[in-house]
Structure 1
């Protein structure tokens, strides 16, 4: 799985993410975690659009190559993160899985605390695990 360097910037009220390899591909979030999660989706959507337009998808740049670019100063004050290029989300499919009752209880508590459904929480957890 390809991973691209993302730059996380903090402002007074939110976080923003930009990709040096993909000018114009940005994401935001109320927290750093939200911004990175949104960056995964933004990157997938951006690359899907490039493919539909017949554009070449760049290989992930090495940090040392990015640091030698003339525009590196625009990114230098941010935090560096690696964001995986996951397939763009398509359609949800209903599935049936067996889970330990205690595990499911913890999932439900955490999902409720984040304002998510059980399915959304499990889906995000799986995406995060597959991103590693």
Structure 2
């Protein structure tokens, strides 16, 4: 999803990134080609552990005249919200009954629900 990022740079500094749609979220990039990557990383860090919905993107035109955004320029960056959105989604999966029983036994020992155990296991496997 394309979000506006305000970019400001002094001759002897990195590119500063400010995200008007995510209050308090900012970043920097040493090189212009790093702006996209640093923007994604900043948004992921900003929302890490938060269970709040991401706002819809604004447009740079909404911020014209705002004194916080003078002397720089606007970019639209593509934020992969699938890496940010923490909203739970119900899924339906099939697996052997014996495996479900083993999962439930281990989850119980760890004081976890089946869902929590599967999420934890998936996160570990994906690292």
TM-score band, normalised by shorter chain = 0.5 to 0.7
Q: CA RMSD in A?
A: 2.3
Q: Which runs of 5+ in 1 are unaligned?
A: 93-132
Q: Which runs of 5+ in 2 are unaligned?
A: 85-122
Q: Which has the larger radius of gyration?
A: 2
8 Å CA contact 2:6, 2:73 repeated in 1: yes
Distance 1:36 1:55, change over 3 A: same
Q: Classify the secondary structure of the residue corresponding to 2:23.
A: coil
> Aligned residue for 1:77?
71
TM-score (norm 1): 0.54
Distance 1:46 1:78, change over 3 A: same
8 Å CA contact 2:5, 2:77 repeated in 1: yes
TM-score (norm 2): 0.56
Please state if 1:60 is matched with 2:54: no
Distance 1:13 1:85 in 2: 24
The CA deviation at 1:78 is 1.3
Distance 1:41 1:83 in 2: 12
Please state if 1:88 is matched with 2:87: no
> Aligned residue for 1:39?
39
Q: Classify the secondary structure of the residue corresponding to 1:28.
A: strand
8 Å CA contact 1:14, 1:31 repeated in 2: yes
> Aligned residue for 1:14?
14
Distance 1:67 1:21, change over 3 A: same
